[in-house]
């Protein structure tokens, strides 16, 4: 996917809407920070930037991973739907 950002406003809007912190990812995926670290180490999540104590992710990547996790949860934890 290509991004064509023409001015500062578009860049700011993109960052606000499409870039997520580790805390936001924890909330979206419903996992712990430790699990996020494990996913990064295993190559299942790829941060776009690593900071001291935090990482930044693209929303699109997290939404794709969320779909995968939901499918796995339905398969291996069917009792959670009740």
Q: Domain segments of the chain: what residues?
A: 9-81
Q: Tokens at residue 81, please?
A: 């739907």
Q: Choose the CATH number for 9-81 among 3.30.70, 1.10.1660, 1.10.10, 3.30.450.
A: 1.10.1660
Question: Between 21 and 1, whose confidence is greater?
Answer: 21
Helix and strand totals (H; E) in the chain: 4, 3
Is the Cβ–Cβ distance between 28 and 18 less than 8 Å? no
pLDDT for residue 82: 54
Tens of pLDDT, residue by residue over 10-59, are 999 999 999 999 999 999 999 999 999 999 999 999 999 999 889 999 99
Q: Tokens at residue 11, please?
A: 């860049």
CA 41-46-52 angle, 5° bins: 75
pTM of the model: 0.84
Helix/strand/coil for 82: coil
DSSP E strands in the chain: the ranges are 19-21, 49-51, 54-58
């Amino acid at each position: 996917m290509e991004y064509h950002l023409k001015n500062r406003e578009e860049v700011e809007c993109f960052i606000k809407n499409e870039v997520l912190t580790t805390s936001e990812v924890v909330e979206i995926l419903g996992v712990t920070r430790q699990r996020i670290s494990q996913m990064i180490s295993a190559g299942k999540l790829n941060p776009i930037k690593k900071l001291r104590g935090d990482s930044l992710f693209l929303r699109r990547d997290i939404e794709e991973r969320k779909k995968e996790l939901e499918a796995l949860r339905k398969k291996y934890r069917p009792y959670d739907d009740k």
